[in-house]
Every structure is written in structure tokens, then in C-alpha cells.
């Protein structure tokens, strides 16, 4: 197994490598197109700002590389958002793998704190896409994961799990060989470790 973690101008990338090490899996942190195409699995993590991240990908031709990947791909947090159609963060056109919009949480009368930081329920169930259930094998239909984000993907045809934080949003998306989660599996204890293991065996 050759696991590649996409390196770009985003934070929290190395913590994913450390999480894989805890599972006994070595990985390479790279923005080399050949290494990404040759990997058995690709992880697209990140914490950061959408427009500057997309600029990095576009300048290096990584946008086309990501779209061309045929092996299992897992987007995490900013990775999920960049795999969507667009983001309202600086009016950014994203990669368009998932036909979803990325919106910002708006503080409401209930004093919603933005960003959302902490544990939240991720729920699968009726009315959601049946794709991506391989990620959640062995996990309950309502499981806790750790989130850190100010933006979220709306509910749509590729939503395979959702969460609530002032509104209902996509906490996991799936289409073809692409999977993506808004939460951080590398910070989500046993549930996160199980999800990463599920991805790596897909």
C-alpha cells in the first residue's frame, strides 16, 4: 500500500500522517503529480482558506491531477470543501467533484459560535445518499467526531452523512472513488481511527 497525502498551503496536514503511523501505515507527503497518480490511496486534508488553497492547486496543475485520480481519495475538512463546486469564502470556484456549495455558518439568535469547534454527531439515515457507507462500516448510525470549521457543504445528492450546527449540513460526501468528511478523523479517537482504516481497505 502506498498512501499519498496531498501537500499544499494548508495546515493540519502532518497530523494525518501521524494518525496513519498510529495505524501502522506509512505515507508520503507530496505535491508531485506522478506520486499522487501512482499511490494506492490519496488523502486530501487541510485547514485554511479556500481561495489561496485553490490558487496553489491551480498554479501547479494539481486541480487537473486531483480530478483525474481513479484510486480511493479522501478529502478532510478544507479538502472536502475544495472538492465541492464553489465556496462563498472569497467567492472561490473549487474543483467541482461534488455539485455542492460551501457556505459560512452565520451566528444566530441562539448565539451560535463560529467556528464550530468540538465534538458533534454524524448521522446516516433515510433520505441520504447510499454511497460512502464503506467509510462508516462498524460504526453506529449516529457517531461522534471532532470538528473545527467555519464553512460547510450544503445538503445535496452526494450527502451520505449529515450533522446539525445551526443548520443541517453535509458532514460526509461520496461520489465514485471520492469520499470526503468535514470532521477530523485524525482527532476523533477510536471512531476516527476506524474510519481511516475503512478508507484504507477500500
- Where in the sequence numbering do the catalytic residues fall? 77, 184, 186
CA distance 58 to 74: 19
Whether omega before 115 lies within 30 degrees of 0, making that bond cis, reads yes
SS3 80: helix
Q: Which three cell numbers stand for residue 23?
A: 495505524
CA distance 54 to 93: 8
Closest residue by Cα to residue 149 from 97, 75, 199: 75
Amino acid at each position: 500500500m502506498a498512501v499519498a497525502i496531498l501537500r499544499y498551503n494548508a495546515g493540519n496536514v502532518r497530523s494525518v500522517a501521524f494518525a496513519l503511523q498510529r495505524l501502522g501505515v506509512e505515507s508520503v507527503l507530496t505535491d508531485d503529480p506522478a506520486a499522487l497518480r501512482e499511490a494506492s490511496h490519496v488523502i486530501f486534508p487541510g485547514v485554511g482558506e479556500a481561495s489561496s488553497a485553490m490558487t496553489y492547486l491551480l498554479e501547479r496543475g494539481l486541480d487537473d491531477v486531483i480530478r483525474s485520480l481513479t484510486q480511493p481519495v479522501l478529502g478532510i475538512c478544507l479538502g472536502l470543501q475544495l472538492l465541492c463546486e464553489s465556496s462563498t469564502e472569497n467567492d472561490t470556484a473549487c474543483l467541482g467533484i461534488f455539485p455542492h456549495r460551501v457556505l459560512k455558518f452565520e451566528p444566530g439568535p441562539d448565539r451560535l459560535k463560529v467556528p464550530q469547534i468540538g465534538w458533534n454527531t454524524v448521522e446516516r439515515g433515510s433520505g441520504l445518499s447510499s454511497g460512502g457507507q464503506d467509510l462508516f462500516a462498524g460504526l453506529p448510525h449516529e457517531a461522534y467526531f471532532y470538528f473545527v470549521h467555519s464553512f460547510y457543504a450544503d445538503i445535496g445528492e452526494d450527502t451520505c452523512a449529515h450533522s446539525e450546527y445551526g443548520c443541517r449540513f453535509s458532514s460526509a460526501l461520496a461520489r465514485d472513488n471520492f469520499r470526503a468528511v468535514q470532521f477530523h478523523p485524525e482527532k476523533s479517537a477510536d471512531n476516527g481511527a476506524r474510519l481511516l482504516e475503512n478508507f484504507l481497505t477500500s
